[in-house]
Amino acid sequence: MSNPKSTALVTGASTGIGAVYADRLAKRGYNLVLVARDAGRLDAVAARIRKQADVSIEIIAADLTQEAALAQIEARLAKSDITLLINNAGMALQGSILENGSAELSRIVALNVTAPTRLAAAAGKAFLAKGDGAIINISSVLALVPEMFEGVYSGTKAYLLNLSQAMAAQLKDKGVYVQAVLPGATRTEIWEKAGRDPNSFPEGFLMEVDDLVDAALVGFDRKEAITIPPLHDESQFTAMLQARAAMAPNLSKSQVAPRYR
């Protein structure tokens, strides 16, 4: 899916997944709005892309945990040229919930939950009004297996998956496509920032970021609601979705289940 007259806004675009999305989308003909805190690194990404693709690139240095910056990006999403939002900016904690203070916990919720929610809402409203657009929310496989990692990060990613599924259901017949991408462990700077050495993981555990984004874009072209690039046996996820759908009609009843009597 590409449109040379369209513009994609990418958050967390200075490195890792966001930077690779910017590169791939530029090659598809999208103009870009790149958002991250570090203007210098954004400029470097933009310079590299300009050597390979004839597209316009707008840089917005913004800390999405700050109200003024978040409002600025919401306003930019409301402009008519934006047709694609990559909700990628995020962070992990160093240590568990019990090893972090109030400031750290507030920051991860602000960046991983509040910011993508508000940006998805702003984009969704703008796209709905013109009957066209797409939102890609970068969740995580930890949304499905919270026991494998600390619960705050996985909880924020489970929230983003939930939001994506709800928005996809609400907007799919109105010209707006919503995709949740669930990376597994991917070789990006998030590990160092969380105090982990990515080279300490077992061989075959970490996916290269280029492979992750390329696979996610295959899912995007196929209009998948949920894309899980590292999952080889898709039937496992299909079975989980079928089990959840079968359980759904039984989750709200007027009578208490017999096992609780």
Positions annotated as catalytic residues are 153
Query: Three-state SS for 261?
Result: coil
Report DSSP letters for 61-122, one per residue.
E--TTSHHHHHHHHHHHTSTTEEEEEE------SS-GGGS-HHHHHHHHIIIIIHHHHHHHH
Cβ atoms 13, 21 nearer than 8 A: yes
Helix (H, G, I), strand (E, B) or coil at 216: helix
Residues 6+ apart with CB under 8 A from 27: 52, 53
CA angle 194-90-12, nearest 5°?
A: 115
